Structure 1
Amino acid sequence: MLQKIDILNLKLENGKHKSSIPLYYQYFGQPIGNAPVVVVNHALTGNSNVTGENGWWNDLIGENKTIDTNHFTILAFNIPGNGYDGKLKNLISDYHDYTLRDMAKIFWKGLDFLQISNVFAVIGGSLGGAIAWEMTILEPNKIQNLIPIATDWKATDWVIANVLIQDQILNNSDDPIADARLHAMLLYRTPKSINLRFQREKTNEVFQIENWLINHGIKLKNRFQLSSYKLMNHLLKTIDITYKRKDFLALVNEIRSNIHIVSVDTDYFFIADENRKTYQLLKRTKENVFYHEIVSIHGHDAFLIEFKQLAQILEPIFNKQKLQNYVNA
């Protein structure tokens, strides 16, 4: 069930003030306060419905699954402005005013409202994983396990460049959501994945790859607001835990969390090489940092496809035996 918290008197990173921002969330599994809390952050076009009917991570979250709702409280916030509340008045038009850090602060305010001061894990893929990085830097002593998947702690030039292309399409196309999605889907997959799947086949003289892309554009247009897409795309450009702070290593050495970096070997958006560099840097000074890599032909979207591999990576972290000594403060 979708619930709401009103976040009051928020100061954004750019200095502007917001008197009230609605934060919508869902929780699954055990009641809040009765079990270790797992915060699941959604990706660009995702939402808080992570498990159950139409849950986008049903393969990993649920009864007797890798993240077991019999033993955890699963909490998922909607990024404000993503439109999942179904009320057009809660959309954000001044999207350039917001940063990923603002969203991470809002999530922490939501946790404070719910009287959750200690989190077993914060996990997320893509944009959601970047929010997980930021949440951990904001509160370095409150998260036991940081699990960023198919993401990075900063936006590379490659990411920034593609955000610009998406923003140009969204602001100049006659069919902005559909057209932007055509471009985005090719960032989320790989040539090998596309070629193997479609093999130049046609239906009624139209290439199946063309139909596939057009259908993805139509589906997103039918369930996503333009202002939401603009905001989510913009937030990708603002990923940077070091912005106006110390250098990366000094920052991360302050956090107590176990860090489980999960990459996709063929990710064309948040490339694996960047995460390998991060791991190599961190392991010089931290013992509780781990690197995992999903092997897939599917590229960035593998974190939504290769569930068996991801489950194998996550199982030791969420193993119920490890929870015996955990106390939810």
Structure 2
Amino acid sequence: MKKLEKIDLFNVVLESGKQRPYVPLFYQTFGQPIGSAPIVVVNHALTGNSNVTGENGWWNELIGETKTIDTDYFTVIAFNIPGNGYDNNFGNLISNYKDFTIRDVARIFWEGLLYLNITDVFAVIGGSLGGAVAWEMAALLPNRIQNLIPIATDWKATDWVIANVLIQDQILNNSDDPIADARLHAMLLYRTPQSINQRFQRSKFLDSSVFQIENWLANHGIKLKNRFRLSAYKLMNHLLKTNDITRNRGDFSTIVKTIKASIHIVAVNTDYFFIPEENKATFELAKAVKENVSYHEITSIHGHDAFLIEYQQLAQILEPIFNPQKQQNYVSA
């Protein structure tokens, strides 16, 4: 695994007005040295982390040498959302998770980039929670990003998202086996009935009354429990309901008009969490006030998780953005 680096941030003032005297920000870099190539910031999803490529990299199919996001041409930076536990330092976990918002995370990521002497980035990309953070990063510093690529996400938490965050929070705070039980519910949000039914077809294990779908869900719960901390799950889940780039700012059209980045919205046609209709509405609003905005849709039976499954479709969407031939004129700052 690529070495985990740390930036020490002090006296971090949260959106709520509360202050954190110290926030460690962990990150990994891949590809070219900082300052020698265009910067791509990759934001992880709810149970993800900064290890985007290489050994156990969760986006190996898209990021790496000769891949769509080619580390021979780009510097890739991925931060860990503070409190996600990927550093394995349990002292850095966050118990007061409701103090934090996505805006706080986006601001902390920008502080990390500025610490690394990075003021402008070629692209910020992320799926689900990571895409929501990307939207907020663009709203915070609208002149610093060339390409904003939010995937299977939205710039706001809809009532549907807020409702499911509440259910997850209730499970996480009241279950005897909170991580595993919450994961059971979450997996059914991330997939579709068609995907589940097609895969398992009501099959059982031989000489057993256990359905394979039951075993599949149970294994997902066990796996997450073995690698994820309860406080991290509570925080990541809570952040989803705080997603709203218009909060205390004005309407969406006014805000998106200030964002200089080319915005490439990527939805999934069967996403039951961040539904494509909301992304289409976002596109219509954005294109009314901004020219450099596009809408793309992954076609899949698998629902929300298609952004982690349908790599070929996603690569085809991203290729025109990350084609290295377009980066030949890059000059180091």
- Structure 1: how far apart are the matches of 2:168 and 2:159? 14
Q: Does 1:296 find its partner at 2:274?
A: no
Q: Does 1:220 find its partner at 2:220?
A: no
| Map of 1:138 onto structure 2 | 140
- Structure 2: how far apart are the matches of 1:232 and 1:90? 14
Q: Does 1:207 find its partner at 2:214?
A: no
Gaps of 5+ in 2: none
| Map of 2:85 onto structure 1 | 83
- Structure 2: how far apart are the matches of 1:280 and 1:163? 27
- Structure 1: how far apart are the matches of 2:279 and 2:328? 31
- Structure 2: how far apart are the matches of 1:194 and 1:134? 33
Q: Does 1:320 find its partner at 2:320?
A: no
| Map of 2:48 onto structure 1 | 46
| Map of 1:22 onto structure 2 | 24
| Map of 1:243 onto structure 2 | 247
Alpha-carbon shift at residue 325 of structure 1 (Å): 3.2
| Map of 2:265 onto structure 1 | 261
Corresponding residue SS for 1:135: helix
The amino acid of 2:266's aligned partner reads V
Question: TM-score, with normalisation over the residues of structure 2?
Answer: 0.98
Question: Which digits, 9 at most, give the CA deviation of each residue in 1:173-211, with x for residues without a partner?
Answer: 000000000000000000000000000000122100000
- Structure 2: how far apart are the matches of 1:294 and 1:167? 29
- Structure 1: how far apart are the matches of 2:61 and 2:7? 28
Alpha-carbon shift at residue 116 of structure 1 (Å): 0.4
The amino acid of 1:238's aligned partner reads T
Question: Which digits, 9 at most, give the CA deviation of each residue in 1:125-168, with x for residues without a partner?
Answer: 00000000000111111100000000000000000000000000
| Map of 1:183 onto structure 2 | 185
Q: Does 1:165 find its partner at 2:146?
A: no
Question: Which digits, 9 at most, give the CA deviation of each residue in 1:93-149, with x for residues without a partner?
Answer: 000000000000000000000000110000000000000000011111110000000
Identity %: 75
The amino acid of 2:325's aligned partner reads Q
| Map of 1:56 onto structure 2 | 58
Aligned counterpart in structure 2 of residue 9 of structure 1, from 8, 11, 14: 11
Does the 8 Å CA contact 2:37/2:330 hold for their aligned counterparts?
Answer: no
Question: Number of residues paired by the alignment?
Answer: 329
Q: CA RMSD in A?
A: 0.7
Corresponding residue SS for 2:258: coil
Alpha-carbon shift at residue 7 of structure 1 (Å): 1.0
- Structure 2: how far apart are the matches of 1:57 and 1:328? 27
- Structure 2: how far apart are the matches of 1:281 and 1:107? 27
Does the 8 Å CA contact 1:30/1:71 hold for their aligned counterparts?
Answer: yes
Alpha-carbon shift at residue 326 of structure 1 (Å): 3.6
Gaps of 5+ in 1: none
- Structure 1: how far apart are the matches of 2:12 and 2:248? 19
- Structure 2: how far apart are the matches of 1:327 and 1:199? 55
Question: TM-score, with normalisation over the residues of structure 1?
Answer: 0.99
The amino acid of 1:68's aligned partner reads D
Question: Which digits, 9 at most, give the CA deviation of each residue in 1:288-325, with x for residues without a partner?
Answer: 00000000000000000000000000000001121123
Alpha-carbon shift at residue 250 of structure 1 (Å): 0.3
- Structure 2: how far apart are the matches of 1:110 and 1:25? 9
Corresponding residue SS for 1:196: helix
Aligned counterpart in structure 2 of residue 128 of structure 1, from 119, 127, 130: 130
Corresponding residue SS for 1:178: helix
The amino acid of 2:198's aligned partner reads L
Corresponding residue SS for 2:289: coil
Corresponding residue SS for 1:253: helix
Runs of 4+ in 1 over 6 A off after TM superposition: none
Alpha-carbon shift at residue 284 of structure 1 (Å): 1.4
- Structure 2: how far apart are the matches of 1:78 and 1:26? 9
- Structure 1: how far apart are the matches of 2:288 and 2:37? 34
Corresponding residue SS for 1:206: coil
